[in-house]
Chains A and B, each alone.
Chain A
Amino acid sequence: MNENRHSVITVVIIIVGIVLLTKLFVIQVLDDSFLRRAERNAVQRIVDYPYRGLVYDRHGELLVYNNPVFDLMVIPKEFNIEDTAKFCKLFQIEKDQLIERYQKARKYSYVKPSPLIKQISNTEFARIQDYLIDYPGLFIMTRSVRAYPDSVGASALGYIAEIQPKQLERDSANYYNQGDYIGHSGIESYYEKILRGKKGAKYKMVNVRGVDKGSFKNGQLDTASIPGENLQSTIDLELQKYGEKLMEGKKGSVVAIEPKTGEILSIISAPVYNPNLLAGAAYGKNYGKLLNDSTMPLFNRPIMAMYPPGSIFKIVQSLIGLQWGIITPNTTFACNKALVACHNHPSPVNLFGAIRNSCNPYYYQAYRLMINQDVSSNTYTDTQIGLDKWHEAVEKFGLGNRLGIDLPSEKSGSVPSSLLYDRMYGKNRWKYSTIYSLSIGQGEMQVTPVQMANLAAIFANKGYYYTPHLIKSVDGDPEKIPEEYQIKHEVGVSPHHFDMVQDAMAEALYGTAMRAIISDITIAGKTGTAQNPHGEDHSVFVAFAPKENPQIAIAVYVENAGWGGRAAASTASLMIEKYLRGHIERPALEDYVLVGDFGD
């Protein structure tokens, strides 16, 4: 009865063999995905991270360099400590933190390494190095972080940090991997491609713990990393340091430009923060702190803050008026305070007097002539045509649009055109009386500090500018800077119109900014007071010097510091002295600015 059962058993054995061989055939011969997964496993593409380019100032002083740090990696499978307290003390880690990070590592992979303690400093590493041998499953991986020897220029230099998921999505070239570092703001971000260099790859055979087991195919596929190019910035380290010192305890911006080239000598966003805070192990903690700081140190004021240009804009108005032939240097208007408020000064005034005394009614009347040129008999249409023509002329001064400075997140400011007023009031529902506040740089006008500094450069250059920029050369080659910084922009005003304006600006110091006067350097400047509906007005001053051969053009904004003649003019004057002389001969003024009360 049971004799045939041996055949059943034999058949079962054969079926087992066939099933196993079939499944083996499927995974070994038909499905080649396992081969790829095996290569991904054991042939590891070890990224050879390039050395990030250094950043120097215009005289070759180091602004940013790389500092080696060490990550302590853990392989959970091999990690085993007997005395947790001793371990925590040695590696200076809280017990809870240790447990939490170990669990996280374990969750990621039991057999692959993950970081346990990130960014151990050089000295820390030297201390723990010898103890590492006692702890299996731990090893060190070297990385580098950015460091700033003088701790200045944070807002211009920017910082690098781990790439964010959104940035990773946008990376169409697939250059970055999760966990890679990328410039997040400032020069670091704008010149990311120059600074980052090119990653290399070494194909290595590694075991499950990532331990090197020799090269793959004798290194035929390996590529070396190309270090990032060093970048020379236009920043003058000494001037930058001095400016940051002057702005201590204040809110505002300082932008200094070399007028002939558009090179930014100094760019300060106050309050300043120490860039070293965002480089290193405490990045996360410090970033949160800076982000929540009510003084907004991460807000890059020179390129992002927008204020009405105020009286400084009167110079632009004068130039456009002169160019259009609406006014001449001899044109006079009465200081009619019924039109718009003014302070007391002789009346009537010619253009020189108007600039010197910052006469509001003068510009009210001059601007009306510029806008209402009787091109159309309809007042509304005529205003619209005039405004648009004027808008075009103002834009040439680098206002109303992004200048194109080599920093991310630059704001455009605002110069209104008829489109804006049509939106606000409706077509043909507005005329000169609606928009007259533009005449004195108020109303819907908005400019950024860097645009103001650029204006100062235009005044200094008598009618042209180079887009303000922070890059002087790449790897020692000035030709390698982006082309847009080598283009000369003409503002469309004949140079001779500037002569009288420059004289008036030099003269103006004796009216509104006595403090700014330097005995043997002629400064041409203009104070402004940007009205601030939220509190004390902002103190504004633009200037260039020396008047005969301008070396520096500067705009200073000090928020809530009252009128321009005090805080802003004093600061600008000290910056000019520092830059032109290399030292300060007016310690009293320096103290006045450093104390920062700005009373009389």
Chain B
Amino acid sequence: MRQDDLYINKIDWLTILIYLALVMIGWINIYAAVYDEQAAKSIFDFSINSGKQLVWIGTAVLLITIIMVADYRLFDNLSLILFGFFLLILLLTPFIGKEINGQRAWFELGPFRLQPGEFAKFATALALAKFIEKPSFDLSLPKYQFQAILIILLPISLIMLQPDTGTAMVYTSFFIMLYREGMPQKYYVLALIFIAISLLSLAIENNIYIVAAVSVITLTMILSGKKTWKRTLTFSLIGVAIIAYSYSLDLVVSKLPTHQQNRIMVLFNPDIDPLGVGWNVTQSKIAIGSGGFWGKGYLEGTQTKFDFVPEQHTDFIFCTLGEEFGWIGSLVVVGLFVALLIRLVFLAERQKTRFSRVYGYCVVSVLLFHFMINISMTIGLFPVVGIPLPFFSYGGSSLWSFTILLFIFIKLDSHRIQLLGRMN
């Protein structure tokens, strides 16, 4: 038997290595986040979060083993059933879920608490892969575009019932995968313009400036080209639409629940209420910013240790890293995420089947979104949204769901040749 034929050599160990590095750095940071010098406990102590996280890591390894020894065809075959199952669970969650912070996003199973919204990600990814797998599925056609969007909207709308805006938002990341699979580029250009206009009208207090700017640009466009009647009307309408949108956005924002309004306000003006609404962002930035280049040293952080940063072992775990390991630590972790994502793009591209490529891009999409939004919110680049940093944040649901998401792809990747064979 040639060495190449060994199954173990077909597994992409580089990805697993990055995964392990992130999980381990995350784990020691969770310990730092809950560390109390005056009542120091071992990192293995099950009464503190680092000890519990070790249990989650151990069980995650068990999940990995199950995924790796299972038949790779299982995921393809079960994709739609899994999707249906999770949709049903999501439908039930608002009714039987446990209420925490005004949300019913959690499911209680004995001593365990699970967040179905997290687990539904890999099922949705599998379902998308299954739908798009068909050679006839052409995303340049409106019919298929509509189908794809519908699949994404299903879990989003169910999660919004809980309501868990942060988790629901993550599902929009699948548009990254759709882009790769041929969704027309103009949609993305439009979306970027749309986001830019939204940000500008939120950032600029006085809408008069926007009206002036849009008018000037519209006039320039009209005057610079052929002055046909039709062209003039088109540009004028676009100009008016943008102004109208900018005004209506203020109205929409004012209709949002106060805490969401505040989170948006704080983004543009972090000093607006540093002891109240702005507390999270302000303290998070202070913690990270005070880390300096080399950091304060492991377990030496004060901001995170003394509870200045809320939710520091979950959504704000990056603060502990930033404070104790400084920019160097940030560089390592951001670097690891970027490396993981680029590696996953590479793996996705080498897939022989559309199913596993689509799934691979779904993994890239979800991880990129979590990574980008989570770190952005801790450094004040994005409103505070309650989503965890993959592999890093404390919690079973989060670690398990990302592990399952990632390792299904590693499993698929390791069988990329067989999949091809099956297709043929």
The residues of A with any CB-CB pair to B shorter than 8 Å are 1-2, 5-6, 8-10, 12-14, 16-17, 19-21, 23-25, 27-29, 31-35, 37-39, 41-43, 107-112, 205-209, 213-214
> Across the interface, do B290 and A34 meet the contact criterion of CB distance under 8 Å?
yes
Closest chain B CB from A569 CB (angstroms): 64
Closest chain B CB from A498 CB (angstroms): 70
Interface locus among B45-53, B330-338, B412-420: B330-338
Across-interface contacts of A32 in B (CB, < 8 A)? 292
Across-interface contacts of A24 in B (CB, < 8 A)? 288, 322, 327, 330-331, 334, 379
> Across the interface, do B291 and A20 meet the contact criterion of CB distance under 8 Å?
no
CB within 8 Å of A: which B164-192 residues = 176, 179-182
Contact of A42 among B303, B334, B368 (CB under 8 A): B303
Known pairs A9-B176, A21-B331, A42-B308; A110 contacts B290 (CB<8 A): no
Q: Report how far A43 CA is from B296 CA in the complex, Å.
A: 14
Over the window 272-311 of chain B, the binary record of Cβ atoms lying under 8 Å from chain A Cβ atoms (1 yes, 0 no) is 0001100100010111111111000000001101111000
> Across the interface, do B279 and A41 meet the contact criterion of CB distance under 8 Å?
no
> Across the interface, do A23 and B337 meet the contact criterion of CB distance under 8 Å?
no
Q: Name 24 interchain pairs, CB-CB below 8 A, sorted by A.
A: A5-B179, A9-B361, A13-B338, A13-B345, A16-B338, A17-B334, A17-B337, A20-B334, A20-B376, A21-B330, A23-B381, A24-B331, A25-B327, A28-B291, A28-B293, A32-B292, A37-B290, A38-B323, A41-B306, A42-B308, A205-B302, A206-B306, A207-B305, A208-B306
> Across the interface, do A34 and B293 meet the contact criterion of CB distance under 8 Å?
no
Closest chain A CB from B173 CB (angstroms): 12
Across-interface contacts of A23 in B (CB, < 8 A)? 379, 381
Q: Report how far A20 CA is from B335 CA in the complex, Å.
A: 10
Across-interface contacts of B361 in A (CB, < 8 A)? 9
Known pairs A5-B179, A38-B286, A41-B286; A214 contacts B345 (CB<8 A): no
Closest chain A residue, CB of each to CB of B365: A9
Check if B349 is an interface residue, CB within 8 A of chain A: yes
Across-interface contacts of B286 in A (CB, < 8 A)? 34, 37-38, 41
Q: Report how far A42 CA is from B303 CA in the complex, Å.
A: 6
Across-interface contacts of B331 in A (CB, < 8 A)? 21, 24
Closest chain A residue, CB of each to CB of B348: A6
Is chain B's binding surface mostly helix, strand, loop or mixed?
Answer: helix
> Across the interface, do B179 and A207 meet the contact criterion of CB distance under 8 Å?
no
Closest chain B CB from A516 CB (angstroms): 67
Check if B342 is an interface residue, CB within 8 A of chain A: yes
Across-interface contacts of B279 in A (CB, < 8 A)? 110-111
Q: Report how far A34 CA is from B276 CA in the complex, Å.
A: 18
Q: Report how far A187 CA is from B288 CA in the complex, Å.
A: 51
> Across the interface, do A2 and B180 meet the contact criterion of CB distance under 8 Å?
yes
Check if B105 is an interface residue, CB within 8 A of chain A: no
Check if B395 is an interface residue, CB within 8 A of chain A: no
Q: Report how far A32 CA is from B307 CA in the complex, Å.
A: 21
Check if B224 is an interface residue, CB within 8 A of chain A: no
Contact of A109 among B182, B276, B342 (CB under 8 A): B276
> Across the interface, do B330 and A29 meet the contact criterion of CB distance under 8 Å?
no
Q: Report how far A449 CA is from B305 CA in the complex, Å.
A: 64
Closest chain A CB from B321 CB (angstroms): 10
The residues of B with any CB-CB pair to A shorter than 8 Å are 37-38, 176, 179-182, 275-276, 279, 283, 285-293, 302-303, 305-308, 322-323, 326-327, 330-331, 334-335, 337-338, 341-342, 345, 348-349, 361, 364, 368, 371-372, 375-376, 379, 381
Across-interface contacts of B326 in A (CB, < 8 A)? 28
Across-interface contacts of B287 in A (CB, < 8 A)? 38
Closest chain B CB from A484 CB (angstroms): 48
> Across the interface, do B37 and A9 meet the contact criterion of CB distance under 8 Å?
no
> Across the interface, do A38 and B290 meet the contact criterion of CB distance under 8 Å?
yes
> Across the interface, do B303 and A6 meet the contact criterion of CB distance under 8 Å?
no
Q: Report how far A283 CA is from B293 CA in the complex, Å.
A: 52
Across-interface contacts of B307 in A (CB, < 8 A)? 207-209
Closest chain B residue, CB of each to CB of A205: B302
Q: Report how far A209 CA is from B306 CA in the complex, Å.
A: 9
Rank and list the top 5 A-B pairs by shortest CB-CB distance, nearest first. Answer: A34-B289, A38-B290, A207-B306, A42-B302, A27-B289
Question: Looking at A20, A37, A108, A206, which has the most chain B CB atoms within 10 Å of its CB?
Answer: A20
Across-interface contacts of B322 in A (CB, < 8 A)? 24, 28
Contact of B180 among A5, A14, A19 (CB under 8 A): A5
Contact of A9 among B305, B330, B364 (CB under 8 A): B364
Q: Report how far A24 CA is from B378 CA in the complex, Å.
A: 10
Contact of B303 among A38, A110, A112, A209 (CB under 8 A): A38
> Across the interface, do A28 and B288 meet the contact criterion of CB distance under 8 Å?
yes
Closest chain B CB from A197 CB (angstroms): 31
Q: Report how far A35 CA is from B287 CA in the complex, Å.
A: 8
Q: Report how far A207 CA is from B180 CA in the complex, Å.
A: 48
Across-interface contacts of A27 in B (CB, < 8 A)? 285, 288-289, 379
Closest chain A CB from B291 CB (angstroms): 5
Across-interface contacts of A21 in B (CB, < 8 A)? 327, 330-331, 334
Q: Report how far A511 CA is from B288 CA in the complex, Å.
A: 89
Q: Report how far A363 CA is from B283 CA in the complex, Å.
A: 81
Q: Report how far A108 CA is from B274 CA in the complex, Å.
A: 10
Inter-chain pairs besides A112-B275, A209-B307, 6 sampled, C-beta below 8 Å: A6-B349, A21-B330, A27-B288, A34-B286, A35-B290, A108-B275
Q: Report how far A207 CA is from B312 CA in the complex, Å.
A: 14
